[in-house]
Chain A
Amino acid sequence: METFKLEIITPNGDIFNDDVISVTLPGEEGEFGVLAHHSSVSTLLEAGVVDIEKTDKTIESVLINWGVVHVDEEKAVLLVEGAVAIRGESESDIANALQEAKELIKSIEDSGNAIAAVSAKLDSAAQKLI
């Protein structure tokens, strides 16, 4: 499987920087996936969950509140303002991350259906891990 480099950068440093198989992003006009050799694109992202398929085929989810993605042939750079990775060694770690993520959702100003969908998606992502 071909891979490409994904970088997720927040104002507090990078939270992800590794080779991945694919990534699904919450674009302003709907979700879209990126595989290796994707054509160049720059677009805005809205609040949502980024699903990353890593080289070992596991999926990692990262919640973001706003972002911009810049994809070219070799790599994808994701600039986000607030992000929480749903991961952890133990159940309690994951629960903590989930709590943090929910707080981030609360801080997003425009509430509505989209937020509910994000919240549901987040729960299911966490469920898979536990």
Chain B
Amino acid sequence: MANLKDIQRQIKSVSNTQKTTRAMKLVSTAKLRRAEELAKRSRLYSDKLNQVIAEIAGRLKCHKVGGIDNRCFSEIKNPKIVDIIFVTADKGLCGGFNIQTIKAVKKLLAEYKDKNVKVRLSGIGKKGVEFFKYNETELFDSVIGLSSKPDKKRSDEFIKTSIEDFKNSKIDAVHIIYNGFKNMMTQELHINKILPVDTDSVNCEIIETKSMLEIEAEDDEKMLDSLVSRYVEYNMYYALIDSVAAEHSARMQAMDTATNNAKDMVKSLNIQFNKARQAAITTELIEIISGVESMK
């Protein structure tokens, strides 16, 4: 049986860890509330923007409005180079949050490799970037410090090259992979094909029944270009906001579990300690009694 002092030391260490994990949980809860509020407010805008884009994409697909043939809306067969952008957290201790995203990225990378498509991988967030660096996967672009503090300007700058390259036919698709916030308990992995705008789900029949859309004829290309840029930029920014909310909820959960585990451990260590104490007392008593007996 372990030494009494050893057990005592262990109990102290575990309860100190418990204090830390509990504090981290509280911090995450507070941060989550703020991040969630921000994500909630932005969701409306993001949803509407996506709706407008989807409608335009649908109409372009079904009607070929005014012969517009914008690259962002047309399906690209046999892509040669694609961009994959992933968002992970800058910090760990949040359960499977980062590894889920990394796994999804690896899966997509493998899929493209099978099809002989070249992939340009860009990453936001220290954890993901470090992972791919360690595995010697080449990163086209990476930024650290943005995923914990989402900033519209920096995110716009980050995604700018991808938008430009797509418009100039240097790349054929842009994917954004991130772990988003679903509710306090669950995170949802998003693998969004952001460019070209996904028109697979468009049902022409539904669109036919609705009224005809009119895009101002003369500068339709300009409008679509500008709209698509904003759409991609905003989706990138939204991915960051959503990811930060999810990160805090994941960390909150992980820390809650850790606190509970520490509690259980302290409990079992306490039992062990009491048993050892009892044993020590019993041994001492036996020693005294046998001593007295021998004196008789």
Which residues from chain A sit less than 8 Å from chain B, CB to CB?
7, 9-14, 28-29, 39-44, 66, 68, 70, 72-73, 77, 79, 81
Picked from B41, B56, B211, the residue with its CB within 8 Å of the CB of A13 is B41
Task: State A66–B227 Cα separation when bound (angstroms).
Answer: 11
Q: A12-B41, A42-B215 are in contact. List 9 more A-B contacts (CB 8 A).
A: A9-B45, A10-B45, A11-B42, A14-B44, A41-B213, A41-B215, A42-B223, A43-B216, A73-B211
B99 vs chain A, min Cβ distance (A) = 30
Q: How far is the CA of A41 from the CA of B215 in the complex (A)?
A: 6
Instruction: Judge whether B52 and A42 touch: CB under 8 Å.
Output: yes
B188 within 8 A of A: no
A119 to B177, CA, bound (A): 42
Q: Is B55 an interface residue (CB 8 A)?
A: yes
List the B side residues contacting A14 at CB < 8 Å.
44
Give, as a whole number of angstroms, the nearest-CB distance from B62 to chain A: 14
Which A residues are in CB contact (< 8 Å) with B212?
39-40
B293 in the interface (beta carbon within 8 A):
no
Cβ distance B259 to chain A, nearest Cβ, rounded Å? 34
CB distance from B87 to the nearest CB of A (A): 18
A90–B290 Cα distance when bound, in Å, is 94
Residue contacts A-B, CB under 8 angstroms, 5 given = A9-B48, A40-B214, A44-B222, A72-B211, A79-B48
Bound-complex Cα distance A81 to B153 (A):
13
* Residues of B that sit less than 8 Å from A by CB: 41-42, 44-45, 48-49, 52, 55-56, 210-216, 218-219, 222-223, 226-227, 230, 234, 237
B contact patch SS: helix
In the complex, which residue of chain A has the Cβ closest to the Cβ of B42? A11
Cβ–Cβ contact A68 & B211, under 8 A: no
Query: Is the pair B226, A44 in contact by a Cβ cutoff of 8 Å?
Result: yes
Q: Which residues does chain A contribute within 8 Å of B218, judged by CB atoms? A: 29
- A41: B residues at CB distance < 8 A: 213-216
Cβ contact of A77, chosen from B52, B222, B223, cutoff 8 A:
B52
Cβ-neighbour of B223 out of A12, A43, A79 (below 8 A): A43
Q: Give which listed residue, B48, B49, B211, B223, contacts A44 with CB less than 8 A.
A: B223
Chain A residues with CB under 8 Å of B219's CB are 28-29
CB distance from A16 to the nearest CB of B (A): 13
**A43, B227: Cα distance in complex, Å:** 9
Nearest Cβ in chain A — how far from B85, in angstroms?
20
> Chain B contacts of A77 at CB under 8 A?
48, 52
Select one of A11, A68, A81 contacting B52, CB under 8 A: A68
Closest 10 CB pairs of A and B: A13-B41, A40-B211, A11-B45, A70-B52, A44-B223, A41-B214, A40-B213, A9-B45, A43-B216, A12-B41
* Complex: chain A residue closest to B234, CB-CB: A11
- Shortest CB–CB separation between residue A41 and chain B, in angstroms? 5
Q: Is the CB of A29 within 8 A of B216?
A: yes
B contact residues around A9 at 8 Å (CB): 44-45, 48
B225 to A: closest C-beta gap in Å: 10
| Cβ-closest chain B residue relative to A66 | B230
- Nearest residue (CB) in B for A73 is B211
Chain B residues, Cβ within 8 Å of A70? 52, 55
Cα(A70)–Cα(B237), bound, Å: 22
How far apart are the CA atoms of A9 and B43 in the complex, in Å? 10
> Do residues B45 and A39 form an inter-chain contact, with CB atoms below 8 A?
no
Residues of B within 8 A of A79 (CB): 45, 48-49, 52
Q: Which one, B42, B210, B222, B227, contacts A68 given CB within 8 A?
A: B227
